[in-house]
Amino acid sequence: MSALVIDAHPNPDSLVSALASTYADAHGDARIIRLRDLDFDVHLRFGYTRRMPIEPDLAAARAAIRDADHIVIATPVWWRSTPALLRGFLDRALLPQEDYRYKGSMPEGLLGGRTGRIIATSDTPAWLAGVLPDTRLDQLRSGTLSLCGIKPVRMRRLGPVRHSSPEQRASWLALVAADAAKDRARSARRAPRLATAVPR
């Protein structure tokens, strides 16, 4: 089972990037895409009224999504949301009629057969995390990944990061490594996924 790990942090020295690398290493059959290294326009300039040209880096990322059986997104949470880099990537990489469509009034995901995971870090104190809704993470899981047929999507929330000790960060890295091993074991028990052709 192959996994695609999407590192959505703009900073290569971030905890999120370390978590993404740790997950990929522990999984053993994973590719990492670091969004900060891709050359593409993050703006969906015409909405969905007109298609934009697909840049080579974006085309390669779209192909990697279709090649993978398991999609992992590692992201910080800023202002109860995710970085603009990730939002722009998803706007450009996931397209109507290619990754999801409507049959009548019902949505249909076209990336079915894949599972997902979100690894999210934040500075929100533990006492406040239970009060503030994770609306953007819920939207990422249910309104984007699940809408495209990627399910189940498991979640690993880590924090608060700001005052965390080296020991705490090491424990988070170990948790993510354990998640990767479990995810691979779960996938080994799943039925093989039919290959999804990349739309041209």
**Total structural domains in the chain?**
1
Closest listed residue to residue 111, CA positions, set 101, 100, 102: 100
Placement of tokens 């999504």 in the chain: 65
128 Cβ neighbours under 8 A, 6+ residues apart: none
Residue 195: inside a domain: no
Domain of 83 in residue numbering reads as 3-188
Instruction: Give CA–CA dist 163/52, Å, rounded.
Output: 42
User: Is 0.85 topped by the overall pTM?
Assistant: yes
Residue 190 has pLDDT above 50, yes or no: yes
Tens of pLDDT, residues 14-68: 999 999 999 999 999 999 999 999 999 999 999 989 999 999 999 999 999 999 9
Q: Look at residue 196 and tell me if it is in a domain.
A: no
Is the CA virtual torsion 181, 182, 188, 193 positive or negative?
negative
Domain-located, residue 168: yes
Identify the pLDDT of residue 137. 86
CATH number at residue 32: 3.40.50.360
The predicted structure's pLDDT at residue 194:
60
What average pLDDT score do residues 73-95 get? 95
Q: Could you give the strand order of the β-sheet that contains 3-7, starting from the edge strand earlier in sequence? A: 30-34, 3-7, 70-76, 115-121, 153-158
- Looking at residue 125, its pLDDT comes to 77
In a domain, 11, yes or no: yes
User: Does some domain include residue 199?
Assistant: no
Report the C-alpha gap between 170 and 106 in whole angstroms: 44
Tell me the pLDDT tens digit for each residue of 85-138: 999 999 999 999 999 999 999 989 999 999 999 999 998 877 776 677 677 788
Give the per-residue pLDDT at 200. Answer: 44
Q: Is 6 helix (H, G, I), strand (E, B) or coil?
A: strand
The confidence score (pLDDT) of residue 40 equals 98
Whether residue 193 is contained in a domain is answered as no
Least confident stretch, 48-57, 75-84, 119-128, 146-155 = 119-128
